[in-house]
Structure 1
Amino acid sequence: MEKKGFEEKEEEETRTSLFHHLVTRRKNLGDDAKIILQRLIMISRLPHDLADRTDLGAHYENLNFQLNKQHIWDHITGLLLIYPSYLLHIIESSRDILTSVLRDVKVMQQQPHRTLLEVKIVFLDHNPQRRLFQQWSYKVLGADQVIRDPAVKVLEDEDVSIETLVCSVLSTLQNLSKKLEQSKAPPGSVLDETPQLIVHQKILERLLGREELLSLQQYLDMYKSTLNISIEFGQLNPRNLFSAV
């Protein structure tokens, strides 16, 4: 009995020592090892002849799996909404992860049969105070789930500002995040029960036509630039939109 207890204690100390070794090693890596959370919101137009939209979800599931193996400390959360004609992707992770996802988009666009057509960066939040999602998931939306919201009629005004359109997306995502915290259900189930929490596709259509938003190539070019340029909208303060819990 004493020998068994000694072996169990030794095994526990080994596991603990390994854990502390990994933590210590990470701390010794210095500032380069510090992960600063970023939130990226990307939209895209999908081809009308896309056969199976679930393939997009499977592609990103596999991409996240591969990225998690390469960046074991970078936790990926977010939501991919696949509309009949559009895509809305919210990604929360490190800058390296976000850039890897966008570079993958560029590769997809260079393929003979492009899955993602026009791509725009709607919003980038550097070091948000909290995550909107606890995990990453995707949802394929049916035509019946893209509801007709009377409030969207206001956004059909040709003079609507880019800030109004972006704030509409951010506020809807904030409401979805609160609902997820309350229900503890997966995002797909919550959206099935409360379709008003789905960002209206008309807003995505309007955003894709706005020149103020960076294209995929513009963002990647800016990322490679030595200049430290923020693409957050000048008068938009994400702290006011995503308050801390």
Structure 2
Amino acid sequence: MASRSHRVDNVPFTAWNSAFEDRVSLFTKLEKSQRTGGKKFLLHRLVVVASLPQQLKDRRDIGAHYEELNQRMQRKYQGDAISGLLLLYPTCMLHIMESSNEVLACVLRDLRDMQESPHGDLIKVSRVLVMSHDLPSRLFQQWSYELLNVEARVGAASSGNTPGGDDEEDTETLVRTVLSVVLKLGSHLLTLTNKGSKTPLGSLLDEMPEMIVPQDLLVKLLSRDLLSPQQYLQAYHTPLNIIMDSGHVFGSSQLTTV
């Protein structure tokens, strides 16, 4: 009788313990799904625009700078593959990069340092258009850069029907226009890659100018209220403080003034 009672008394505890062990955190499930899918890290995409200094003699110097930076990051963050596209216009640049969060943070710090350099040899002003997190797949298969000529600055992507027609559009609409063209270009390049096409990017852009974001549109965005790399990094490193009664979230700098 005693032994039977002992077994019965342990049943609720055993069932509860089993249920407890079966519970896993969201982080554990996400980590497991990443391993199952063969992904070593979460994929993010950064899109930035920057103005070029007038004294810049050769835009290929910027391409060489990023090639060297990418090599350094690949050595430091082994396994965090880098892909994307750098479009160098006569007066500005549009840069799309895909990699881990750590790599993209390094890119932003490098942009910040170039912008704050007293000489400003490569970059004058830069702005973050968007940072997309936890992407299912890459838009670009590798990283490359392309020089665009003066004629390439006016494309069919402009949302305004007349010169200056997008002056009155809000910043969010202009950013969406840029991202729409970037996604179309990336999707088209991915399709060509899957078909085994060897068409150079420069030739493709000459044939399809509607896939080029107009330079004038990028220049307008540089004057809009968008985060600089420094401001983005400050927000990235600022701890969140949650007031449990209201559920409101504040940055630490805001709390000190309350």
TM-score, structure 1 as length reference: 0.74
Q: Deviations over 1:181-229 (max 9, x none)?
A: 2322453342233222111112111211111x1111110111111139x
| Equivalent position of 2:146 in the other structure | 139
Identity %: 43
| Equivalent position of 1:180 in the other structure | 189
| Equivalent position of 1:192 in the other structure | 206
Which aligned pairs between 1:4-153 and structure 2 lie closer than 5 A?
Answer: 35-114=41-120, 115-149=122-156, 151-153=158-160
> What is the CA–CA distance in structure 1 between the aligned matches of 2:166 and 2:113, rounded to whole Å?
35
Range that drifts further, 65-74 or 141-150: 141-150
Q: Is the 8 A contact 2:112 2:229 kept in 1?
A: yes
Q: Is the 8 A contact 2:158 2:213 kept in 1?
A: no
Opposite residue 43 of structure 1, the aligned amino acid is V
Q: Quick one: which of 202, 227, 231 aligns to 2:240?
A: 227
Q: Is the 8 A contact 1:137 1:187 kept in 2?
A: no
Q: Which runs of 5+ in 1 are unaligned?
A: 1-26, 229-245
Tell me, what secondary structure is at the counterpart of 1:42?
A: strand
Structure with larger Rg? 2
Q: Deviations over 1:141-173 (max 9, x none)?
A: 111222353844347343312221111111101
Q: Is the 8 A contact 1:42 1:122 kept in 2?
A: yes
Q: Deviations over 1:17-43 (max 9, x none)?
A: xxxxxxxxxx9xx9xx95111101000
Larger RCO of the pair (alpha carbons < 8 Å, separation 6+): 1
> What is the CA–CA distance in structure 1 between the aligned matches of 2:157 and 2:237, rounded to whole Å?
42
Q: Which runs of 5+ in 2 are unaligned?
A: 1-31, 194-198, 242-258
Is 1:216 the counterpart of 2:225 in the alignment? Answer: no
Tell me, what secondary structure is at the counterpart of 1:214?
A: coil
How many residues in Structure 1 have an aligned counterpart in Structure 2? 197
Tell me, what secondary structure is at the counterpart of 2:160?
A: helix
Q: Is the 8 A contact 1:152 1:200 kept in 2?
A: no
> What is the CA–CA distance in structure 1 between the aligned matches of 2:40 and 2:157, rounded to whole Å?
45
Range that drifts further, 180-189 or 133-142: 180-189
Opposite residue 145 of structure 1, the aligned amino acid is A
TM-score, structure 2 as length reference: 0.70
Please give the root-mean-square deviation of Cα atoms over the aligned residues, in Å. 2.2
Q: Is the 8 A contact 1:180 1:186 kept in 2?
A: no
- The verdict on how the C-alpha distance between 1:214 and 1:82 changes in structure 2, with shifts beyond 3 A counting, is same
- The verdict on how the C-alpha distance between 1:158 and 1:142 changes in structure 2, with shifts beyond 3 A counting, is closer
Opposite residue 214 of structure 1, the aligned amino acid is L
> What is the CA–CA distance in structure 1 between the aligned matches of 2:144 and 2:108, rounded to whole Å?
17
> What is the CA–CA distance in structure 2 between the aligned matches of 1:168 and 1:160, rounded to whole Å?
11
